[in-house]
Amino acid sequence: MKKTKKILITGSAGLIGSEAVKYFCERDHEVVGIDNDMRKYFFGNEASTKWNRELLTHRFKNYTHVALDIRDQEKLTEVFRKFKIDLIIHTAAQPSHDWAAKEPVTDFSVNALATLYLLELTRNLAPEAVFIFTSTNKVYGDTPNLLPLLELETRWELPESHRFYQGINESMSIDQSKHSVFGASKVAADIMVQEYGKYFGLKTCVFRGGCLTGPAHSGTKLHGFLAYLIRCIARGDEYTIFGYEGKQVRDNIHSFDLVNAFNEVYKKPRQGEVYNIGGSRHSNTSVLEAIAKAEKILGKKAKYKIVKTARSGDHIWYISDVSKFKSHYPGWNYKYDGDQIIDDICRHGHF
């Protein structure tokens, strides 16, 4: 008989958190979710995750929701003392470049300090648990923009002869670049999660995500490129493209595929490991290419404008090299390609 595990998920009503809740609840584990809908505070009512929290609490009897701020050490401690935790999936974050610049202290306290609290509680109260952290490709700052990119008709692209053509791997430096305030706070958390594995011997793992997406994304102007773009087309709202002629490239990974990768790590954890994860060459698109595909599925023309000024530190081209992860976990593979992701959001997205 399979033993039921206790899974703690922060940001449990968000895109990746809610996918993780569904994944582990459907496999009959006990899931405790922490989420206080701070996304509403960051981005307004349209980005609220309340709808997703209500869906999860009604659907799964083996899901317990805890509405607390992850910066509240005392209440976090109560959760760790109440439940014997086997796996922590830490997805809660302030996720926006632009928003972070408005309130750097809030951004750092949510992204970095709260991560340290969770690591300390894991070390002291759940030292055998696996700790998985969703970091970001923004830890590399704007270094990817120094690559010798070529401008093609609908996208920027690397020459096939370049060593990063298949994607950027973990060897790229995270130093000497403009990260954005958000990127800097995620660097702090990223390194600390690694350190608790390497220094204290905990089973920690960092995933540096490309464009994480899926139909459960409460996309908004400042965060959630693909979900927000498709929402704008579906509603007939104008979408603004910031710089690079709309040819900037993102690799998109479906939330299910990412959570499936989490499960592989949980089954065979390592200490202080870090992986780039995203759609890779399997799933990537420029903004213009995504618009064309979404228009076809939705049967609507997009309303958009291109402004010349790009967002500070934003990537022109980013594709993840996932070969390190696949070499460590050869049983993992993608379920969704790029077209399937766009189709899934168009048909099942939260509009």
Sign of CA dihedral 89, 121, 5, 31: negative
CA distance between the termini of the chain: 41
DSSP letter at 45? G
Predicted pLDDT at 37: 96
pTM of the model as a whole: 0.96
Q: Going from the N-terminus, what domains does the chain have, and what CATH number goes with each?
A: 6-348 (3.40.50.720)
Per-residue model confidence as pLDDT tens digits over 247-305? 999 999 999 999 999 999 999 999 999 999 999 999 999 999 999 999 999 999 999 99
Give DSSP secondary structure letters for 197-216: HHTT--EEEEEEESEEE-TT
Residues 6+ positions from 180 with CB-CB distance below 8 Å: 97, 100, 101, 138, 141, 312, 313
**pLDDT confidence of residue 225:** 85
With tokens 């698109």, the residue in question is 285
Strands (E), 137-189: 150-151, 156-157
CA distance linking residue 341 with residue 322, whole number of Å:
18
Give residue-wise pLDDT tens across range 174-201. Answer: 999 999 999 999 999 999 999 999 999 9
Q: Which pLDDT does position 218 carry in this prediction?
A: 83
Query: Chunked in runs of 10, what are the mean pLDDT values of the chain (351 residues)?
Result: 87 97 98 97 92 97 98 98 97 94 97 98 98 98 98 98 98 96 97 98 98 89 86 96 96 98 98 98 98 97 96 93 98 98 94 80
Q: Are 194 and 135 in contact (CB under 8 A)?
A: no
Contacts of 13 (CB under 8 A, 6+ apart): 33, 35, 37, 49, 50, 52, 53, 56
